[in-house]
Structures are given as structure tokens and as C-alpha cells.
Amino acid sequence: MGIIIAYGGFVLLLAGSIFIANSQRNDLVTKDYYDSQIKYQEQIERIQRTTNLPGPFRLDYEAESEQLVVRFPEQFVSQNVRGSITLYRPSDANLDRSIPIALDNNGMQIIETNRLASGLWRVKINCAMDTLEYYHEEVVIF
């Protein structure tokens, strides 16, 4: 009798597992797969264009003044640069911040960090100069 109950329980468990597995969505590809691949290719081109710049983007955290100093390459100084700097917090999306680019005469932008939670941040610079777009990403801990 115990074998029949155990076998019946196993069959019910297996049937329930199959039912739950079949009711789950398992989309492996986005609906707009080709559009998203084109956008990804554009992102690769932005990164490659940034890599080919003669000078790098530099991010320096100054602990005493609680400021993040973003230095743009020399080509960006006194140019019409537009875009944004995104402070991305991987552990909490509610802390993410996006700041419009406003460079000073030295090609720098200073971001106050005293109101931001300390820890790991991903700084994403998405900018355009003339018709060319650039992208730089770096991890900063403050």
C-alpha cells in the first residue's frame, strides 16, 4: 500500500512540475531582435571610436572634497559637447543619477558625491561632438 501512495505522489509531483514548466514564458530572443542588434552594433562603434581617441577620459575621485572629477580628452575642450553622465548603482536602481554634460573651459566636469551613497558606482559617459557619438564606462568606488 505504501508503494502505491509513494508512486501516486511521485506521479502528481511530476505532473505538477510539467504543468508549471509549460506555463512559464521562455522567450530567448527579444521581439525586436534585429533592431536591438543594430543598436548594440552602434554601441560597439561608439566604444571603438572612444578607444581610438588620442587621449582618454579620466575619472578621479577626490575624497577630501567629495567630488568626482571627469576629465574629457583634449578634442572635447571648447567644443559643443552634448550628452549625459550616468551614475549607475548596480545594487540599487533607485540611486541611479543622470547628469547633463556641462564642461568647464578645461574640459572637466565636477560632480558632487556628498549626497550619494558610498560604495561601487559605474560611471557611464554618453556624449556626442559634432555628428560623432562616444561612450566610456568606468567603475568608481567612493
Assign residue 104 the CATH number of its domain. Answer: 2.60.40.10
Is residue 26 scored above 80 in pLDDT?
Answer: no
33-86 confidence digits (pLDDT tens): 777 787 889 999 999 999 999 999 999 999 999 999 999 999 998 788 999 999
Domains held by the chain: number: 1
- Residue 69 resides in a domain: yes
The answer to whether residue 129 is domain-embedded is: yes
The overall average pLDDT reported for the chain is: 91
Main-chain phi, psi angles of 9, to 5 degrees: -65, -40
| Position 115 in a domain | yes
Mean pLDDT of 112-129: 95
Structural domain contains residue 8: no
pLDDT at 30 over 70: no
Computed over its alpha carbons, how large is the radius of gyration of the chain? 25
Which pTM was predicted? 0.74
